[in-house]
Structure 1
Amino acid sequence: MGWGGWMPAAPGSVLAGLRVLVLNDCGISWEQVLRVAPQLPSLEELHLCGNAIPRLTPPPTAAAEAPAGAGAGAGAEAASQPEVGGEAEGPQEVPSTSGRDGGDDDDDEAGAHRLAALFPNLQVLTLEEVGLTGWTSLALLRRLPALARLHLGGNTGITHVAYPDPDPGPAPAAAPPPSDGAAGAAAESAPAAAGAAAAAAAGSGASFPRLSSLYLGGCGVADWRSVDQLDRFPALAEVRLTGNPVLAQSRTGGRFEVIGRVARLAGLNGAEVRPRERRDSELRYLQHIAAEMEAAGADEAARAAVRAAHPRLRELMAAHGSVLATAARGGPGGSSLAASTVELKLTCVAAAAHAKMGTQVKKLPRSTTVAALRMLCEKLFKVPSARMSLFLRAPGEPLPEDIGGGDCEDRGLGFFGVQDGYEVLIDEVDPEAAEAAGRAAAERAAAQHEARLGEQLRAAERLQASPAARSPGGTVPKPSYLPLLSPHPQTHG
């Protein structure tokens, strides 16, 4: 019997002990997942990568109210209980600027609660490369009480992210700026603060109350407003945004901006966000905002637009405003040479024969522009400025940041938040070779993608060609996934 017509015949078919279910690349649909959900009351991980799931739909009322059977485990009771607004049918999805599924708010909320009743213990959901057409229908997941990790990589149709709840209103008045020690202690306690926030959010009815990790690598997120929305998720501590246009468009990679915009991040793109990096990133982000304000001049409308584009501005000014003011004055006394200069390590890693590899320590004014630094490095290390790449690395950080080219050339070192002990790496790059390498990498990625698609098509053809897969009438029935959910699954070599 195909999956489309299968439903458990008796309460004994409930798999009370099943906690992890992997259905990657098997052609299952979201509707079929909803159909079997009442029989999996203890499910904690659900992996659906590679299936065609363009959007999520709410379960019908009957699915959420179907009894899971007595003695089915801790989650069975929760799965069978009626939910708020459960009598409403699942709405059709209509795009909404609020990030919700659309339609009547009561029906929308009822659908989210019905899904939460089906998956009361689900902690991990993977929907990578399933062809999601956008973020909108993902708001349906907002009431899952245990959801902690959501994998959405490879869905290029996700071009924005929106937190489902309406804005809570104006931010409270800024608190007095903390001392450097207090700021450092707050950064070190970020993971614990995220956990406390999750517990508080779970009790307050907030959306995605326990979502701590959101993986969006290789999606189509293209605007910083979506990154600002990530700061509204109450427990979010880890994010992956590699391969999204919003970072690809940034010459510096965008890491400091993401950290500056999302307060509780403890991990970004697979790398830990340490307290020192958070402080430096937030300072640099503030300097970036200050440069935008300066460009806006006396135009109040333009200045208001800058403030609206950076929701954390008031919070960051409360934390670091005194540091920026001191740096702008050149120190407490207004003319301190120690406060207006910075000691940097300049390290040449160019492999060309004419380059002088090695490290030199220089004390430079914070106002030194990247263009002036480039000329200095050309004299010191004999690397032509036209072929020179400059990278800035903070102490203890594994990945340096590109600070050369474009608008960065006229920026002073202070703009990048440099402190004593930072290192500037000098390399020589052939622009034509770099462009050719980029094209080759893109071609390899496209070839690998085509190979994966071809293998999937060949697997489907083999299934259709198999005599065992054909019905007596010569037609190929829908594949049955019942063995995957059998209490005694077959073992394959």
Structure 2
Amino acid sequence: LVPKLQSLVLTHTLLSSWEQVAQITRQLPHLSALHLSKNILEIPKDPAALRDSFRSIRQMVLRGVGYSWDQALQCAEMWPWVEDLVLSPNGISVLRQPPDTLFQQLECLALQDNPISSWETVCRLGHLPRLKSLSLADCDLTSVSFPETPPGQKTPLFVHLVTLNLHNNRLEEWVSIAELNKLASLEDLIVKGNPVTVREKRHITRCLIVSHLGKLQLLDRMAVTRDERREAGIFYVNRFFPLWVQCGGTAEGGTPSPEFVREHPRFLSLLKTYGAPETVPDGKMPSLNKKVITIEIHAPQEPDRGPIRKRLPLSMSVEKLKALVTQLFPRKGSRFCLSLASHEEGKESVLDKERLDLSFYDITDGSRIYVRW
């Protein structure tokens, strides 16, 4: 009746075997998406014999069917060309590497809501040649590690993985976040809901994650902008520079301890990009809460007024700086924008993070702040 049907939902039906499903799908040559969730389907003795009935299937959804990973691999012999596979939740706790005859076209794999606690077992999927998206949300993962890949290098596993969902796991340590930078293609990460992400204020946590992951474009479904990456990098260098020095590093580089490199593999790269923060003679960082600098506030649209010099604590927020500017340049009902003159001639950085302190930006004695309406 509907030979051109492309998507079919047979969720929670009285179907009891794959042979019965095959009788339906062989009559639908254009069918590409098949949903069979919450069915109890007996696995055939020779799954490969039913391949012709599933030749057009590219998306298979099997939520709550009670299959182990090995049973899912048995079923996959019927539809080895699948590109999108959903297997959550099914009580899967152990994974093994699929044979080379399966999943050569698989791009998206959803394993969320399964009790998978070992990252080592996840790595058995690392050789899938086209895998781009992997969902491990609401599993029991406690750590992420690629021990055979040195810090700063890229793992040969998951080479095409762009999107990774680790929402609501049990990741405890920042080193697990640092390990994710070993994924060569990772651009989209969901990691909220892990213990490691709730110990700091939300914007600080985001800064730390962005600094750890050099290619990230989306974090928890929010875009990582160029300005945000720069601000995060400066914050990261300022925060961990004292520890870098304690572990053997210098403002020019040096050779820090292996433990520091393991936990902060991108620090040297960020240090070279943004430079070392100002230090005091004893080699310790000055307290940002006590550090006071002098800045110049310029208003190009009011040429009759020269620059206004103000001594301000680096702990002052951008929001409070804007309040000060409002007092200095009273224009009722007028919105304005603050920007920091860059060290590069003609370039400016917008100060648009109102809740962040001035210390978050690369502001030093003599820095010029421009106000424009």
Q: Write 1 or 2 for the structure with the bigger share of helix.
A: 1
Q: Return the alpha-carbon distance in structure 2 between the equivalents of residues 318 and 21 of structure 1.
A: 47
Instruction: Give 1:29 deviation, angstroms.
Output: 2.2
Equivalent position to 2:177, from 227, 252, 256: 227
Structure-2 residue corresponding to 1:136: 120
Q: Return the alpha-carbon distance in structure 2 between the equivalents of residues 269 and 417 of structure 1.
A: 26
TM-score by length of 2: 0.63
Q: Write 1 or 2 for the structure with the bigger share of strand.
A: 2
Report the 3-state secondary structure (helix = DSSP H, G, I; strand = E; otherwise coil) of the residue aligned with 2:60: strand
Kindly tell me: are residues 5 and 145 of structure 1, through their superposed partners in 2, closer, same or farther at Cα, counting changes over 3 Å?
closer
Q: Greater RCO between the two (CA within 8 Å, min separation 6)?
A: 1
Residue 166 (structure 1) aligned with residue 148 (structure 2): yes
Equivalent position to 1:369, from 303, 308, 315: 315
Structure-2 residue corresponding to 1:33: 72
Structure-2 residue corresponding to 1:150: 134
Q: Which runs of 5+ in 2 are unaligned?
A: 1-16, 18-39, 281-292, 299-307, 328-348
1:7 corresponds to which letter in structure 2?
K
Q: Return the alpha-carbon distance in structure 1 between the equivalents of residues 360 and 191 of structure 2.
A: 24
Kindly tell me: are residues 153 and 45 of structure 1, through their superposed partners in 2, closer, same or farther at Cα, counting changes over 3 Å?
same
Q: Which runs of 5+ in 1 are unaligned?
A: 59-111, 172-200, 330-338, 345-361, 382-393, 404-411, 424-493
Kindly tell me: are residues 263 and 170 of structure 1, through their superposed partners in 2, closer, same or farther at Cα, counting changes over 3 Å?
closer
Matches within 5 A, 1:61-460: 112=97, 114-155=98-139, 157-163=140-146, 166-168=148-150, 206-251=156-201, 252-293=203-244, 296=246, 304=257, 305-321=259-275, 324=276, 340-341=294-295, 365=311, 367-370=313-316, 413-415=358-360, 417=362
CA deviations on 1:316-374 (whole Å, 9 max, x unpaired) are: 122222xx46x779xxxxxxxxx953769xxxxxxxxxxxxxxxxx9765643359x98
Instruction: Give 1:208 deviation, angstroms.
Output: 0.6
Instruction: Give 1:258 deviation, angstroms.
Output: 0.8
Q: Return the alpha-carbon distance in structure 2 between the equivalents of residues 232 and 170 of structure 1.
A: 7
Q: Return the alpha-carbon distance in structure 1 between the equivalents of residues 228 and 123 of structure 2.
A: 32
Q: Return the alpha-carbon distance in structure 2 between the equivalents of residues 271 and 134 of structure 1.
A: 28
Identity of aligned residues (%): 22
Report the 3-state secondary structure (helix = DSSP H, G, I; strand = E; otherwise coil) of the residue aligned with 1:158: coil
Instruction: Give 1:230 deviation, angstroms.
Output: 0.8
RMSD of equivalent CA atoms: 4.1
1:150 corresponds to which letter in structure 2?
L
Task: Report how many residues are paired.
Answer: 281
Q: Return the alpha-carbon distance in structure 1 between the equivalents of residues 158 and 249 of structure 2.
A: 39
Kindly tell me: are residues 320 and 250 of structure 1, through their superposed partners in 2, closer, same or farther at Cα, counting changes over 3 Å?
same
Q: Return the alpha-carbon distance in structure 2 between the equivalents of residues 396 and 369 of structure 1.
A: 15
TM-score by length of 1: 0.49
Structure-2 residue corresponding to 1:48: 87
Instruction: Give 1:222 deviation, angstroms.
Output: 1.2
1:273 corresponds to which letter in structure 2?
V
Instruction: Give 1:143 deviation, angstroms.
Output: 0.3
Residue 16 (structure 1) aligned with residue 55 (structure 2): yes
Q: Return the alpha-carbon distance in structure 2 between the equivalents of residues 151 and 422 of structure 1.
A: 45
